[in-house]
Amino acid sequence: MDTTILEIEETQTEKIMSLNHSRLAYRLGNLLSKYEEKYDILPELDFELFADKAKPDIAICNKMPVDWRHDIIRLAEPPITIIEILSPKQAYNDLTDKIYDTYFRSGVKSVWLILPSVEAIQLFVPDQPVSYFNETVFQDPVNGIELNIKELFKS
């Protein structure tokens, strides 16, 4: 009986993918590809972080050697940056709690929260006020990445 309850709770807390969520994840990957010489851009990879397990939409990590013969299922090293896309039925506070309680406690240096319905990005950096970007060039001072928001949200 306890197992059934746990399975139901886990299913209910999973984020629900949507068309716009999928579209934005793809566009972010394309826009970030120009940084692949310096960083590994890793969508939907599982992490075993200090504070908890996590599976961000996109993780930006320092470049790692490629070994096609020996794969890693769950990475223990925290990414430099995590990108989360707010899904239509996902609670904003659930994501911000994860940012502060899991990502920052585990050593992540910056988190981008993509807000599709308002075509904006919030930048979270530990011990700094949250920055809000729309209709401008988004800049992350932690990793030096710049992103044209109009290109991300184009029709």
Domain ranges of the chain: 16-152
* Sign, CA torsion 124/102/86/44: positive
Residue 46 has pLDDT above 90, yes or no: yes
CB 45 within 8 A of CB 31: no
Confidence of residue 15 (pLDDT cuts 50, 70, 90): low
Percent of the chain with pLDDT over 90: 84
State residue 14's pLDDT score: 53
- Residue 125 and residue 148: Cα distance in Å, rounded? 20
User: What mean pLDDT is predicted for residues 4-17?
Assistant: 49
Residue 2 has pLDDT above 60, yes or no: no
Confidence of residue 107 (pLDDT cuts 50, 70, 90): very high
> Residue 43: which H helix or E strand, with range?
strand 39-43
State residue 36's pLDDT score: 94
CB 137 within 8 A of CB 147: yes
User: What mean pLDDT is predicted for residues 19-23?
Assistant: 94
State residue 73's pLDDT score: 92
State residue 89's pLDDT score: 87
Mean pLDDT of the chain: 90
pTM of the model: 0.88
Question: CATH fold of 16-152, please?
Answer: tt1808, chain A (3.90.1570)
User: What mean pLDDT is predicted for residues 49-59?
Assistant: 94
